[in-house]
Chains A and B, each alone.
Chain A
Amino acid sequence: MSTSLMSGARMLLECLAREGVDCMFGYPGGVTLPFYDCLYDHHIRHVLVRHEENAAFAAEGYARATGRVGVCCATSGPGATNLTTGLVDAMMDSIPIVALTGQVSTKLIGSDAFQEADTFGITRPCTKHNYLVKRLEELPQIIHEAFYVASSGRPGPVLVDVPKDVFQAQGHYQHVSSIHLPGYKVFTEGHTGQIRRAAQLIRKSERPLVYAGGGIVAAGAAPELRQFVELTNSPAVNTVMGLGALPSDHPNFISMPGMHGSYAANMAMTNADLLIALGVRFDDRVTGRLAAFAPHAKVIHVDIDPAEIGKNRTPDVPIVGDVKQVLGKLNQLLADKEPADAQLEAARSAWWNQIRSWKEEHPLQPVISDSEIKPQHLMAEIDRLSNGQAIVASDVGQHQMWAAQLIRFSEPRLWLNSGGLGSMGFGLPAALGAQFARPDKLVFAIVGDGGFQMSIPELATIASYGLPVKIIVMNNGYLGMVRQWQELFYNNRLSSVTLDCFPDAEKLAGAYGFKGRTIDKPWELASALEAAVKEPGPYLLNVKVSPLECVYPMVPSGGAINEMVLGPPQPVAESAK
């Protein structure tokens, strides 16, 4: 079946509408003029950002907050190259976005035409897959394929480059009833035999530990994870990509492991006899020195991407599959209780006692001072106001780690951060995208004074759409994380990390037409945050915190994760037993 005659630009919109797109983030330009002309009276909402990089981050924010495919759009040449950081960011964190770029007319490709760049070539390693549309007839198939590829299997970014003459050509939308990608295998069900072996290992384990990550969020497997953790009464850690996969208040939840993970989480990793790794990739920020990582543990590794299995750690039980389905089957097997084994019960209860005492020895708790605002104090206050319910989009750096340590999340898709790529400038546009996706939600953008200044242009977008995003700048006057490393590992030679000029927040926000304020007294903190939250529109709260605070615990680069530096006097943690 086909529709009436229409332009390529209109056909593209037809495809997007059929994919259920309600909102996209973009920036127009010369070659996308035909597309923007069609958008003029189309129901799909186009959000005009102020820089293409932020269009990609906003699309990510939208996707991360909902699980739906985020869409961004840019013109050829500089528009497309500006998208690339967001594409790689989405690639690293497995976030489904579709990027649409304009290209110079097919006849001009290769002629160094105005605003021509090899977008297809440039974005090849930045995307899960990419396309250059050569003829209008290919367009519907390619667009529907792009959405399928972005959202299926291990999600990721897909880019479609559309030349201007393809936008302008006239044709009929041909119905796309199926997608045939003979070389694209989407793994769903795990191997039954391996799942049974996993269940046996789990039953016999004396010191099990669940290590759950972004894969749980992507698969929508939080209910299955919770059931699994409760059935097996296993302690669980969530990675920085998996926060919220298990509610932070759940009694079995320990916290985040890794470089800035909690003492208890890292000690549990090091001492576990079985690691149940679910939708994680044994990232270096989690494992520390790989050779010393979880040295006593057998590993069950469930992931939808076969290339992740055995990449960094060879598992004892590899299971390639959708973690939601695999956990569902595991839960069925584990629901049949076996006769009680007194010895095993005793070992399990000793394991739990050990974990509780690790938690008590070195809890993650906010440092609070009478004279200055400690960054941890700021996060604790945001946590109090959020109560596990708000969306928190974070930028990258110290504030990101403190937020991850101290803010609770009751469900997935509340904590949005650039985990893999660590892109500064992510937080504010991601919050913007999330607020469009979830207008009902309280959205915080927690940013540093460094990353915020990379995102300042988007204050205009926030103001223009009246988005009630609460922008909280944790302002320590430094590029804090780099400063921390210079202090600890480069003899405190603070090279190019001082941010000695920061705009007056009240005037800055005022210039955009909304409220802003700067505070630096701890007794002002609670009421200032409350006022920001109560404000119906956007709010910029610049919080001056103690400038020289470092994030602890910290595993020095290349160290084993049980060798944490726990605080400023730097006592070395007792090594694992």
Chain B
Amino acid sequence: MLQVISLLLENKPGAMMRVTGLLSQRGYNIESLTVARTLDPEVSRMTIVVEVDSTLRQQVIKQMNKLINVLQATDLSDSPSVFRELLLVRIRMPQETRAAVLKEAEIFGGRVVDSSTEGFAIEVTGAPEKLNEFVDVMRSYGEIDVTRSGVVAIGLEPKKLKLQPPVPTKAGAKVEETIH
């Protein structure tokens, strides 16, 4: 079953590699992955869709939470949440179906972002299943090229982010210089 994991991670070099490495070292295949900065530029939000055996889901979340750069990993698969994805499609079709294509795009809430004599480029956002349907419809009109962003998700229940406070160092206690 597909699992949707939402992570907050420190925006540090290699942080993403630790998360993806954790999945690949267990042989999981990532379906989609998005990452971008949050309101706090030092923190990124990552949404991962991955196929994980249901008995191992909790274990994967725990392992992610163990990563030092991960501030919070949450399984959104079964909790109230909204999943959205952006899709860009370039379609080339005969002149006579232009109006029909525009109508379909409108039905899916799409927006034309480029138009030429050969066809359109259209942008659509929506739930991933909705976008699959849109792709099927477009394919019936002509030749298409598709780019999808991967799922971004937000949980609808507030989840408190618990951050650890700084700890004093042993080394800091020694004020005197050790090198003379």
Q: Which residues of A contact B (CB under 8 A)?
A: 1, 3, 6, 10, 13-15, 17-20, 120-121, 124-125, 128-130, 132, 134, 144, 147-149, 175-186, 305-307, 310-311
The residue of chain B having its C-beta at the shortest distance from the C-beta of A158 within the complex is B68
For B175, list chain A residues within 8 Å (CB): 1, 175
Q: A3-B179, A130-B14 are in contact. List 9 more A-B contacts (CB 8 A).
A: A1-B175, A14-B178, A18-B171, A20-B170, A120-B14, A128-B68, A177-B172, A183-B69, A307-B66
Residue pair A182, B10 in contact (C-beta under 8 Å):
yes
Known: A19-B171, A125-B21, A185-B164. A310 touches B14 (CB 8 A): no
The residue of chain A having its C-beta at the shortest distance from the C-beta of B70 within the complex is A183
Residue pair B169, A179 in contact (C-beta under 8 Å):
yes
Please pick, from B62, B67, B70, B174, the residue contacting A306 in the complex, using a CB distance under 8 A: B62
The residue of chain A having its C-beta at the shortest distance from the C-beta of B71 within the complex is A183
The residue of chain A having its C-beta at the shortest distance from the C-beta of B59 within the complex is A311
For B167, list chain A residues within 8 Å (CB): 148, 178-180
For B14, list chain A residues within 8 Å (CB): 120-121, 124, 130, 132
Residue pair A129, B68 in contact (C-beta under 8 Å):
yes
Q: Is B13 an interface residue (CB 8 A)?
A: yes
For B162, list chain A residues within 8 Å (CB): 185
Q: Which residues of B contact A (CB under 8 A)?
A: 9-10, 13-14, 17-18, 21, 25, 58-59, 62-63, 65-72, 162-172, 174-175, 177-179
Residue pair B17, A182 in contact (C-beta under 8 Å):
no
Binding site secondary structure of chain A: mixed
Residue pair A183, B172 in contact (C-beta under 8 Å):
no
For B172, list chain A residues within 8 Å (CB): 144, 175-178
Pick the most buried of A130, A132, A178, A307: most chain B CB atoms within 10 A of its CB: A307
For A178, list chain B residues within 8 Å (CB): 166-169, 172
Please pick, from B10, B59, B165, the residue contacting A307 in the complex, using a CB distance under 8 A: B59
The residue of chain A having its C-beta at the shortest distance from the C-beta of B8 within the complex is A183
For B63, list chain A residues within 8 Å (CB): 307
The residue of chain A having its C-beta at the shortest distance from the C-beta of B61 within the complex is A307
Residue pair A183, B174 in contact (C-beta under 8 Å):
no
The residue of chain A having its C-beta at the shortest distance from the C-beta of B162 within the complex is A185
CA distance A184 to B167 in the complex (A): 11
Residue pair A3, B177 in contact (C-beta under 8 Å):
yes
For B17, list chain A residues within 8 Å (CB): 121, 124
For A179, list chain B residues within 8 Å (CB): 166-167, 169
CA distance A19 to B171 in the complex (A): 6
CA distance A56 to B174 in the complex (A): 28
Residue pair B21, A124 in contact (C-beta under 8 Å):
yes
Could you list some 24 contacts between A and B, CB below 8 A? A19-B171, A120-B14, A121-B14, A124-B18, A124-B21, A132-B13, A134-B13, A144-B171, A144-B172, A175-B172, A176-B171, A177-B168, A178-B167, A179-B166, A180-B164, A180-B167, A181-B68, A183-B71, A183-B164, A184-B68, A305-B66, A306-B62, A306-B65, A311-B59
For B72, list chain A residues within 8 Å (CB): 183
Pick the most buried of A175, A178, A180, A184: most chain B CB atoms within 10 A of its CB: A184
Residue pair B171, A15 in contact (C-beta under 8 Å):
yes
What's the least CB distance linking A521 to chain B, in Å?
Answer: 50
For A20, list chain B residues within 8 Å (CB): 170
For B166, list chain A residues within 8 Å (CB): 178-180
The residue of chain B having its C-beta at the shortest distance from the C-beta of A140 within the complex is B171
Residue pair B71, A13 in contact (C-beta under 8 Å):
no
For A177, list chain B residues within 8 Å (CB): 168-169, 172
For A181, list chain B residues within 8 Å (CB): 68, 164
Please pick, from A17, A120, A176, A182, the residue contacting B71 in the complex, using a CB distance under 8 A: A182
The residue of chain B having its C-beta at the shortest distance from the C-beta of A184 within the complex is B68
The residue of chain B having its C-beta at the shortest distance from the C-beta of A20 within the complex is B170
The residue of chain B having its C-beta at the shortest distance from the C-beta of A121 within the complex is B17
Known: A124-B21, A125-B21. A183 touches B169 (CB 8 A): no
For A13, list chain B residues within 8 Å (CB): 179
Residue pair B168, A183 in contact (C-beta under 8 Å):
no
The residue of chain B having its C-beta at the shortest distance from the C-beta of A13 within the complex is B179
For B13, list chain A residues within 8 Å (CB): 132, 134
For A180, list chain B residues within 8 Å (CB): 164-167
What's the least CB distance linking B58 to chain A, in Å?
Answer: 7
Pick the most buried of B72, B171, B174: most chain A CB atoms within 10 A of its CB: B171
Please pick, from B25, B59, B68, B168, the residue contacting A149 in the complex, using a CB distance under 8 A: B68
For A15, list chain B residues within 8 Å (CB): 171
For B66, list chain A residues within 8 Å (CB): 305-307
What's the least CB distance linking B74 to chain A, in Å?
Answer: 13
Residue pair B67, A183 in contact (C-beta under 8 Å):
yes
For B169, list chain A residues within 8 Å (CB): 144, 148, 176-179
For B171, list chain A residues within 8 Å (CB): 15, 18-19, 144, 147, 176
For B67, list chain A residues within 8 Å (CB): 183
For B168, list chain A residues within 8 Å (CB): 177-178
For A125, list chain B residues within 8 Å (CB): 21, 25
Residue pair B59, A182 in contact (C-beta under 8 Å):
no
Pick the most buried of A15, A176, A181: most chain B CB atoms within 10 A of its CB: A181
For A120, list chain B residues within 8 Å (CB): 14
For A18, list chain B residues within 8 Å (CB): 170-171, 174, 178
Residue pair A17, B178 in contact (C-beta under 8 Å):
yes
For A17, list chain B residues within 8 Å (CB): 178-179
Pick the most buried of B13, B18, B58, B66: most chain A CB atoms within 10 A of its CB: B66
